[in-house]
Structure 1
């Protein structure tokens, strides 16, 4: 598990913000991913919330140089395996179940499992995970909650996601137990629909400098 944690951290540490994307049209995924990579955001999470999601992961994995594409909203072992076959370099789940954790243990592709309480963090640590998604971040207690966990649960690193924006991202990024944050603000739906890749690259560039 330690090797997979290192592999996951090498991806998450590429940038302070991991774009969390809902892709309605797989054809737009390549242009969108290229725009994000051009702005410095090379680790990209495509959520499995639309019929186009798996095709989008496959297209980005095959056609976007420099991108590390991951699949998010993975809810079961079947979806885990399908995302890996599509080319995902990391997997993200909103929580954890025995089925998802078993799939992760049997795969070389690292899992970023979700946790929203001290008990869930402890359970994941017992299962061998020390890098987790804190979700839904703002609704579950925000940066103040994560700061409170940093001492009793030292050695655990988080990627908070949910309700994070340009306005509050630095509150999280300043914490010692936060490696990066996840956010959708770098790829607004209207910009994606319009194919405004230059605008998205600008937003990505701003996000890339957040921890500077």
Structure 2
């Protein structure tokens, strides 16, 4: 299990590698302390908390400096609480009905989860057709080399947890590997977004 210090070092390695938006999962030891420290250290970056399942955790995360919150499902209490704030809440959705309902309930962006189990890039491509007006983030099981495909098919962003925070590198506290993976991911993302603009 990663420690608070390990989470800080890994996050620094990712941010220094070019990652500008970083989600810290709720299960991280000392998650709110880690968030607060990173928000103070890198004021121009956007840090948020993922796997938030209660309004209470959402409030604590916001107090600690979270710019965004993510959940694996739609938690209406969180959606209601952040409605008139600057904090972005991205609820997890899977089906067309869930996408439509979350957007109608006020979600500005939805997180398609678990995307690789649903068909990956092909699922994003298919689901974007009827919901092209709803911004979607693809999450779960995404590899760095598939970032471009997800962006090309309509995802506005992707969640790359294990692709950057490689389990073996993390178990060895090898933050150079995390930094290299982050650099590669940031470059792939930048290239994909530029290609899409053309």
Shorter-chain-normalised TM-score: which range? Answer: 0.7 to 0.9
Inter-partner Cα distance in structure 1 for 2:84 and 2:156 = 25
RMSD (CA atoms): 1.9
8 Å contact 2:36–2:65 — kept in the other structure? Answer: yes
Cα deviation, residue 95, structure 1: 1.2
For 1:59 and 1:191, the matched residues in 2 are separated by 23
Aligned partner of 2:160 in structure 1 is: 183
Give unmatched runs, 5+ long, in structure 1. 1-22
More helix by share: 2
Task: Give the structure 2 partner of residue 148 of structure 1.
Answer: 126
Instruction: Write out aligned runs for 1:1-212 (5 A).
Output: 24-64=2-42, 66-175=44-153, 177-184=154-161, 185-211=163-189, 212=191
| Deviating more after overlay: 99-108 vs 70-79 | 99-108
Task: Pick 1 or 2: higher relative contact order, CA cutoff 8 A, min separation 6.
Answer: 1
CA displacement at 1:136 relative to structure 2: 0.6
Structure 2 CA distance for partners of 1:51 and 1:196, relative to 1, 3 Å: closer
Please, what TM-score do these two structures have when normalized by structure 2?
0.86
Contact 1:33 1:67 in 2 (8 A): no
Residue pair 1:94, 1:115 contacting (<8 A) in 2 also: yes
Quick check: 1:26–1:59 contact (8 Å CA) kept in 2?
no
Cα deviation 1:179-203 (Å, max 9, x = unaligned): 1110121111332343322222111
- C-alpha separation between the residues in 1 aligned to 2:166 and 2:95? 29
Structure 2 unaligned segments of length 5 or more: list them: 192-198
